Amino acid sequence: MAEPARENEGPLSEDDLIARYFRPLAGEGAFGLRDDAARLTPGAGMELVVTVDTLVAGVHFFADDPPGAIGRKALAVNVSDLAAKGATPRGFLLSAALPQDYAPAWLADFADGLKDAAEAFGCPLLGGDTVKTPGPLTLSVSAFGETPSGTMVHRFTARPGDRVVVTGTIGDAALGLLLRTAPGASWTEALGVDGRVFLTDRYLHPRPRLAAIPALRRHASAAMDVSDGLAGDLAKMCGVSRVSAEIDLALVPLSDAAKAAIKADGALLDRALTGGDDYEILAAVPDAGLAPFLDAVDRAGVRASVIGSFVAGDGLPLFRDDGVEKRYASGSYSHF
Amino acid sequence: MAEPARENEGPLSEDDLIARYFRPLAGEGAFGLRDDAARLTPGAGMELVVTVDTLVAGVHFFADDPPGAIGRKALAVNVSDLAAKGATPRGFLLSAALPQDYAPAWLADFADGLKDAAEAFGCPLLGGDTVKTPGPLTLSVSAFGETPSGTMVHRFTARPGDRVVVTGTIGDAALGLLLRTAPGASWTEALGVDGRVFLTDRYLHPRPRLAAIPALRRHASAAMDVSDGLAGDLAKMCGVSRVSAEIDLALVPLSDAAKAAIKADGALLDRALTGGDDYEILAAVPDAGLAPFLDAVDRAGVRASVIGSFVAGDGLPLFRDDGVEKRYASGSYSHF
């Protein structure tokens, strides 16, 4: 828990701000944030996986989202990328461009959320840079993980015949976002309070699928996290792997809340498939490894569903639904 | 050289933008930017040093600075941090938050400058994230270097008796910035065209002191790069090392142009000592290593000057000038 801010004090220097809010998050190799760089040594026989994701207020989250949720999300979306590569989180660097009028109390809550996430994911702060911006709050996290040498799982290595597997449920966050932007839509009445709370939580609190890491390393041909919508991300994986895919829409895993929403408004199915922020894992798993993969993931407490197969070809993935066939031309919800 | 942009085409997708402008910069382990994370393996017996710096248009550079210079600077300021830690650059991640109205031609020139820097510093692009922002252009670079295990040079390890050593010349960039913001000031007449070009170049084109890396690893007790002004950065090093320092102002290395400027307007000496963007290296070197340190740096083509000594105590560094003693209370030019 960061030291509570005193509301009526003057603006903090960058050094004081770092000491107060970010030092409690610092891990081994960060030297208490007293150096201007950190040390990171992979374990024996391990190699590092590095990734970066940037979140801009008003683009990737709402400026008035709970600050703790923003802090957790900034790290979670990066740890989700690591998990999809089969990489165990080791640490992160934070770049925070703060608006001129940021409130110390906001920053305290943000840092608390970030600390919760760092602890939950085993991914401590290694260093960072804090600057002021005349623009919106902009958070960039570079995250580092490690895999036993040669076991990093790539995006571009799906092969024809591999099964298309996805963790968790799809579309919840996209519907949670709709609840936020269009709270009065008629379909929301079909949800009940529990359904609304569930979808909102799925939007605000991505939970990277760390439990799937060992199974991915061992059994997956390829994997990526689903952050820009299942349809678009599957198309990306197919494009870089030079394959296509055929999906049985009836097999795409949906939560009870998403099912209720789609039952009330059929058009929401497309939204669930193309909306962003799932932070589930999309994997290509060869038949030989399918049963052990599903078993390992299940034992780790994560649901995984086979939704189709990768096939030879270079077309967009085909989604079959009760005799109807669809391809999502620009299926990806792009944050860009 | 990135493929020239066609001015009259529509906006690029993020994938097309990355392929066109950033794929030419990608190094080994980046997998042609076709994955959503990169691999980075330190050499045998080496450990990684990681650092991040963020630059915001209008805060850290001018939005209308030459785009190639902005690209070079975004990487150079990070590589400067690595060099000061004794770390050989290995690669970087780029987060670029682009304004809505960015021009493809601007991005092409920016990427060219970044590519020049990546090649010059032996620091290829490993991955990145490109997003749109309603705010100013915001660039965040995470840079990775490596040192033989146990040889990382820290900021917080200066000891009483160590000499204070600085590379290159101090204050040029701060005066170059003044030339930009107050071009008509009377002192600028004392410079001549060559002097103005020199100071402007020093502001626009930081040159990280990679050549000093082996000597720093071998002989320095502590080091950091001078990015926020010599007086303030020395105070930082003293603070985290729990020492103080005594500096002989006559020994602080100044370029001919800076000398001419200060001769014309004596107040510019303080500006030179407290202004930012030097990107020189400030090192603590024990007496026993001083001669070999200076010799090694000199043979590597970098000038290094002994300007004083670290001393026991916890006060701000003391600057002596012809019988006058000064301490810079808030000596650091803070970008924050």
SS3 of chain A: the string is CCCCCCCCCCCCCHHHHHHHHHHHHECCCCHHHCCCCEEECCCCCEEEEEEEEEEEECCCECCCCCHHHHHHHHHHHHHHHHHHCCCEEEEEEEEEEEECCCCHHHHHHHHHHHHHHHHHHCCCEEEEEEEEECCCCEEEEEEEEEEECCCCCCCCCCCCCCEEEEECCCCHHHHHHHHHHCCCCHHHHHCHHHHHHHHHHHHHCCCCCHHHHHHHHHHCCEEEEECCCHHHHHHHHHHHHCCEEEEEHHHCCCCHHHHHHHHHCCCHHHHHHHCCCCCEEEEEECHHHHHHHHHHHHHCCCCEEEEEEEECCCCCCEEEECCEEECCCCCCCCCC
Nearest CA in chain B to A133: B56
Contact A47 B41 (CB under 8 A): yes
Amino acid A10: pLDDT: 53
Which chain B residues are within 8 Å of A149, Cβ to Cβ?
A: 41
Nearest CA in chain B to A39: B49
Contact A97 B53 (CB under 8 A): no
Q: Which of A17, A28, A33, A36 to mutate to test the interface with B (most CBs of B within 10 A)?
A: A36
Amino acid B10: pLDDT: 53
Whole-angstrom distance, CA of residue A22 vs CA of residue A9: 19
Q: Which residues lie closer than 8 Å to B293 by C-beta, 6 or more apart?
A: B165, B215, B218, B219, B220, B283, B285, B304
Count of beta carbons in the 10 Å neighbourhood of residue A8: 6
Which chain A residues are within 8 Å of B39, Cβ to Cβ?
A: 47-50, 152
- Nearest Cα neighbor of A243 from A187, A297, A163, A171 is A163
Å from B46 to nearest chain A CA?
Answer: 8
- Is A116 or A10 the better-scoring residue by pLDDT? A116
Amino acid A4: pLDDT: 37
- Is B234 or A7 the better-scoring residue by pLDDT? B234
DSSP B240-300: HHT-EEEEEGGGS---HHHHHHHHH-TTHHHHHHH-S---EEEEEE-HHHHHHHHHHHHHT
In degrees and rounded to multiples of 5, residue A82 shows phi and psi of -60, -45
A151: buried, middle or exposed (CB in 10 Å: 19+, 13-18, 0-12)?
middle
Amino acid A18: pLDDT: 87
Whole-angstrom distance, CA of residue A83 vs CA of residue A65: 25
Å from B282 to nearest chain A CA?
Answer: 13
Whole-angstrom distance, CA of residue B170 vs CA of residue B269: 10
Whole-angstrom distance, CA of residue B277 vs CA of residue B228: 6
Q: Which residues lie closer than 8 Å to B56 by C-beta, 6 or more apart?
A: A97, A131, A132, A133, A134, A135, B136, B137, B138, B139
Whole-angstrom distance, CA of residue B29 vs CA of residue B38: 5
Amino acid B285: pLDDT: 98
Confidence of residue A173 (pLDDT cuts 50, 70, 90): very high
Q: Which of A133, A217, A225, A241 to mutate to test the interface with B (most CBs of B within 10 A)?
A: A133
Contact A59 B154 (CB under 8 A): no
Structure tokens at B180: 């930009």
Q: Give ipTM to 2 decimals.
A: 0.92
Contact A131 B336 (CB under 8 A): yes
- Nearest Cα neighbor of A57 from B135, B59, B128 is B135
Contact A152 B59 (CB under 8 A): no
Print pLDDT tens along chain B (336 aa): 333 333 444 567 888 888 899 999 999 999 999 999 999 999 889 999 999 999 999 999 999 999 999 999 999 999 999 999 999 999 999 999 999 888 999 999 999 999 999 999 999 999 999 999 999 999 999 999 999 999 999 999 999 999 999 999 999 999 999 999 998 899 999 999 999 999 999 999 999 999 999 999 999 999 999 999 999 999 999 999 999 999 999 999 999 999 999 999 999 999 999 998 999 999 999 999 999 999 999 999 999 999 999 999 998 999 998 888 999 876 444 444
Contact A36 B129 (CB under 8 A): no
Nearest CA in chain A to B49: A39
Contact A144 B224 (CB under 8 A): no
Whole-angstrom distance, CA of residue A274 vs CA of residue A155: 19
Contact A140 B140 (CB under 8 A): yes
B290: buried, middle or exposed (CB in 10 Å: 19+, 13-18, 0-12)?
middle
Q: Between β-strands B46-56 and B138-148, what pairing exists: parallel, antiparallel or unpaired?
A: antiparallel
Which chain A residues are within 8 Å of B156, Cβ to Cβ?
A: 31, 34-35
Amino acid B14: pLDDT: 80
Count of beta carbons in the 10 Å neighbourhood of residue B264: 15
Cα B132 to Cα A19, A75, A229, B6, B241: the distances in Å are 31, 20, 18, 20, 41
Structure tokens at A17: 């701000």
**Does the domain formed by B163-326 have CATH 3.90.650.10?**
yes
Å from A38 to nearest chain B CA?
Answer: 5
Amino acid B334: pLDDT: 44
Contact A48 B39 (CB under 8 A): yes
Å from B149 to nearest chain A CA?
Answer: 9
DSSP state letter for B324: E
Domain B14-148 architecture: 2-Layer Sandwich (3.30)
Amino acid B312: pLDDT: 98
Decide if B285 contacts B221 (C-beta within 8 A).
Answer: yes
Contacts 24+ apart (CB under 8 A), A184-188: A185/A265, A186/A264, A186/A265, A187/A261, A187/A264, A187/A265, A187/A268, A188/A261
Whole-angstrom distance, CA of residue A196 vs CA of residue A332: 24
Domain ranges of chain A: 14-148, 163-326
- Nearest Cα neighbor of A269 from A258, A282, A257 is A258
Nearest CA in chain A to B46: A41
Contact A31 B140 (CB under 8 A): no
Structure tokens at B184: 């008509």
Which chain B residues are within 8 Å of A135, Cβ to Cβ?
A: 56, 133-136, 138
Nearest CA in chain B to A135: B135
Nearest Cβ partner of B51 from A13, A37, A59? Answer: A37
| pTM confidence score | 0.93
Nearest Cβ partner of A38 from B50, B133, B225? Answer: B50
Lowest model confidence (mean pLDDT) among A81-90, A322-331, B166-175: A322-331
- Nearest Cα neighbor of A16 from A27, A31, A6 is A6
Nearest CA in chain B to A40: B48
Amino acid A12: pLDDT: 76
Chain segment A241-285, per-residue pLDDT in tens: 999 999 999 999 999 999 999 999 999 999 999 998 999 999 999
Chain segment A135-171, per-residue pLDDT in tens: 999 999 999 999 999 999 999 999 999 999 999 999 9
Contact B133 A56 (CB under 8 A): yes
DSSP state letter for B31: G
Nearest CA in chain A to B232: A15
Percent of chain A exceeding pLDDT 70 equals 95
Contact B35 A156 (CB under 8 A): yes
Which chain A residues are within 8 Å of B236, Cβ to Cβ?
A: 15
Taking phi first (over 0 means left), then psi (-120 to 50 degrees means alpha), and beta for anything else, what does residue B70 get?
alpha
